[in-house]
């Protein structure tokens, strides 16, 4: 009996609760650190540096000049084509089609994630551009000039957001590996074309990547679009993702 009482006291102590919580949630905490905090911290550092020096970071111009030194007519065509493919307006029909499928399948959790992640990414990009007012590089005459502000890159943010949404929506299937491989190539290709065309500094691209990663992963930790089944606590058949998870229902009840 004494052992049982001692065990109960330990289980109810704040230190024991914290330890058990960290053990149970260490994966989420690690993802929070690597996938949210570090990208957003990198974005914050880039923002401060560029705010202090609009000319950019020391490695911005050398990288642009190195990429421009490879210019030729074939790469010109490829870069312009990739720039069109990577336009934010090009991603809208793709995301719209996915949203329609999710709506017809009544996958509310996945649909909520798609809308929140994509709309939030657009708002963040437009807000940051208007606040920073960073001009485009003027190192050479671009074959596809841009007139809007540069920081952060909308192309970079759109590519990361699109790939992240597809990854999280297919996380429970083998399709995720296909989206991970080809999505990574797509993200790199879009970034290369913006640098090749001379319409973005490398720091614009990196900032777009970081803030999009932080946003899409952060939203996924809250909405959990990869959760397609809600675990039942009373032995009943698990419900699909149109239902709230037990812990979500509990939070609403408590409020």
Q: How confident is the model at residue 242 (pLDDT cuts 50, 70, 90)?
A: low
pLDDT the model gives residue 252: 58
Most confident of 21-25, 59-63, 137-141: 59-63
pLDDT at 30: 79
Element (H, E) at 230: strand 229-230
pLDDT, residue 181, reads 93
Q: Could you read off the pLDDT of 61-100 as tens digits, one per residue?
A: 999 999 999 889 999 999 999 999 988 888 899 999 999 9
Residue 128: its pLDDT value, please?
92
Cβ–Cβ under 8 Å, residues 144 and 136:
no
Sign of torsion, CA 242 248 254 255?
A: negative
Question: Where does the chain have alpha helices with state H?
Answer: 2-12, 14-24, 26-31, 38-52, 60-68, 73-85, 88-104, 108-132, 154-169, 175-196, 202-223, 246-254
Output Rg (C-alpha) for the chain, integer angstroms.
Answer: 23
What is the mean pLDDT of the segment spanning 94-117? 91
Interatomic CA distance for residues 158 and 154, integer angstroms: 6
| pTM beyond 0.85, yes or no | no
pLDDT at residue 159 above 80?
yes
Integer Cα distance of 194 and 13 in angstroms? 55
Residue 80 has a CB neighbour count (10 Å cut-off) of 15
The per-residue pLDDT for range 169-215, each reduced to its tens digit, is 888 888 888 889 999 999 999 999 999 999 999 999 999 999 999 99
**Are 213 and 40 in contact, with CB atoms under 8 Å apart?**
no
Q: Which of 117, 106, 212 is nearest to 159 (CA)?
A: 212
In our burial notation (b when 16+ CB lie closer than 10 A, e otherwise), range 155-176 reads bbbbbbbbbbbbbbbbeeeeeb
Query: In angstroms, what CA-CA distances link 125 with 148, 152, 191, 231, 244?
Result: 12, 6, 16, 37, 31
Confidence at residue 27, expressed as pLDDT on a 0 to 100 scale: 75
For residue 227, the model assigns a pLDDT of: 66
Look at residue 236 in the predicted model and tell me its pLDDT.
44
Cβ contact 193:78 at 8 Å: yes
Over pLDDT 90: what percentage of the chain? 42
Cβ neighbours of 69 (radius 10 Å): 7
167 vs 30, which has greater pLDDT?
A: 167
Closest CA to 179 of 160, 191, 163, 155: 163
Percentage, residues of the chain above pLDDT 70: 80
Write down the pLDDT at residue 88.
83
**Which of 42, 23, 46 lies closest to 34, judged by CA?**
42
Omega before residue 152 within 30° of 0, cis: yes
Average model confidence (pLDDT) for the chain? 82
- pLDDT (average), residues 224-236: 54
* 219 has pLDDT over 70: yes
Give the pLDDT band of residue 231 (cuts 50, 70, 90): very low
């Amino acid at each position: 009996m004494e052992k049982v009482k001692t065990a109960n006291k330990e289980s109810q102590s704040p230190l024991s609760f914290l330890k058990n919580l960290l053990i149970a949630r260490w994966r989420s905490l690690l993802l929070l650190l690597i996938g949210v905090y570090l990208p957003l911290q990198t974005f914050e550092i880039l923002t401060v540096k560029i705010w202090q020096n609009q000319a950019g970071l020391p490695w911005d111009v050398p990288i642009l000049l190195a990429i421009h030194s490879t210019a030729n007519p074939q790469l010109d065509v490829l870069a312009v084509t990739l720039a069109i493919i990577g336009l934010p307006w090009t991603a809208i029909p793709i995301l719209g089609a996915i949203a329609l499928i999710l709506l017809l399948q009544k996958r509310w959790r996945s649909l909520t994630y798609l809308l929140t992640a994509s709309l939030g990414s657009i708002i963040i990009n437009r807000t940051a551009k208007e606040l920073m007012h960073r001009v485009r590089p003027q190192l050479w005459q671009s074959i596809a000039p841009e007139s809007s502000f540069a920081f952060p890159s909308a192309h970079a943010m759109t590519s990361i957001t699109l790939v992240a949404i597809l990854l999280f929506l297919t996380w429970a299937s083998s399709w995720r590996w296909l989206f991970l491989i080809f999505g990574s190539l797509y993200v790199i290709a879009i970034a290369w074309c913006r640098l090749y065309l001379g319409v973005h500094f490398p720091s614009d691209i990196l900032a777009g990547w970081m803030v999009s990663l932080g946003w899409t992963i952060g939203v996924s930790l809250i909405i959990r679009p990869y959760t397609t089944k809600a675990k039942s606590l009373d032995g009943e058949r698990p419900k699909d993702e149109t239902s709230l998870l037990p812990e979500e229902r509990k939070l609403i009840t408590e409020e």
